[in-house]
Structure 1
Amino acid sequence: MNHLLTLLGVLSLLLGIIGIVVPLLPTTPFVLLAAALFARSSPRFHHWLLNQRHFGPMIDDWQRYRGMRRSAKRRANVMILLSFGLSLLVVSIDWVRLLLIIMMVILLTWINRLPVVEPVALKE
């Protein structure tokens, strides 16, 4: 079972990395899923992921506080708006555009309702 969870963690992490450059493929949920899978299957991979410069702080903030830093929220909002905006320019079917707008609003609403993790609070 540990090998299956580790394999799923690796696949999830790869999808998260691909999601950095592919519009509409989310990065954060896949990276958080990989961290959860690694926590249950491979302490070594979990430790490695938590110590990554780009993903580690985001995962730690989520695991400890169930929130995001203000700068991460800003970056997420910008990337969501850019990727959905580009998709809306490319798509010519009206119902697909409407679906994209609905997805964008839901995602922006969810991200912006998450608690903000303040750096001052992290120093305690």
Structure 2
Amino acid sequence: MNQLSNWRRILWVSSGTVSLAIGAIGIVVPILPTTPLIILAAFCFGKGSPALHQLLISNRYFGHYIKDYQEGKGVPLHIKFTAVFLVWTSVLFSLLVIPLLAVKLFMTALAIFLSIFIFTSPLLKEK
């Protein structure tokens, strides 16, 4: 039973690490949804490593966003607008550059999904 528990812990920490890495890439590649991936990483670390979870939520750049989300407070409206603006800017640029129709359709569908996800997530009431 203990060995199974170790495998679960390894799986949670690995999943959190992958999510965090992709989310970090999303900081410079706007089509990748940074905030949901960082929140997913925090969830995975919370299941697999309390120390990594604490390290992530105490991060000075996005730790407060994770805390607010975990406490049900949501994400500030200006962050939502910025995220959607960056998603659509990168998608529109890609639509102009990429000639493949299937890729254009996929990118457009992904941008629509991300926009819906971002605007239907909880909104942080700013003071």
TM-score (norm 2): 0.81
Partner of 2:55: 48
The separation in 2 between residues aligned to 1:49 and 1:98, in whole angstroms, is 35
- Structure 1 regions of 5+ residues with no counterpart? none
Check whether the contact 2:15–2:41 (CA below 8 A) recurs between aligned residues. yes
Whole-Å separation in 1 of the counterparts to 2:79 and 2:71 = 16
1:8/1:113 Cα in 2 relative to 1: closer, same or farther (>3 Å)?
closer
| Secondary structure of the corresponding residue to residue 67 of structure 1 | coil
Q: Within 1, Cα distance between the matches of 2:70 and 2:22?
A: 20
State how far apart, in whole Å, the 1-side matches of 2:80 and 2:32 are. Answer: 17
Corresponding position: 1:91 with 2:98: yes
- Residue in structure 1 matched with residue 126 of structure 2 by the alignment: 119
Contact 2:33 2:114 in 1 (8 A): no
**In 1, Cα distance between equivalents of 2:69 and 2:124:** 9
Q: Does 1:79 align with 2:98?
A: no
* Post-superposition offset of 1:66: 6.0
Q: How many residues align structurally?
A: 120
Q: Does the CA-based 8 Å contact 2:42-2:66 persist in structure 1? A: yes
SS at match of 1:119: coil
Query: TM-score when scaled to structure 1?
Result: 0.83
Q: CA deviation at 1:6?
A: 1.6
Residue 62 of structure 1 pairs with residue 69 of structure 2:
yes
Q: Which runs of 5+ in 2 are unaligned?
A: 1-7
Return the alpha-carbon distance in structure 2 between the equivalents of residues 22 and 28 of structure 1. 13
Residue in structure 2 matched with residue 105 of structure 1 by the alignment: 112
Aligned to 1:19: 26
Q: Does residue 32 of structure 1 match 2:62?
A: no
Shift of 1:91: 1.0
- C-alpha RMSD of matched pairs (Å): 1.8
Q: Aligned in 2, Cα 1:114/1:12: closer, same or farther, shift over 3 Å?
A: closer
Deviations 1:36-55 (A, max 9, x none): 01111111111111111222
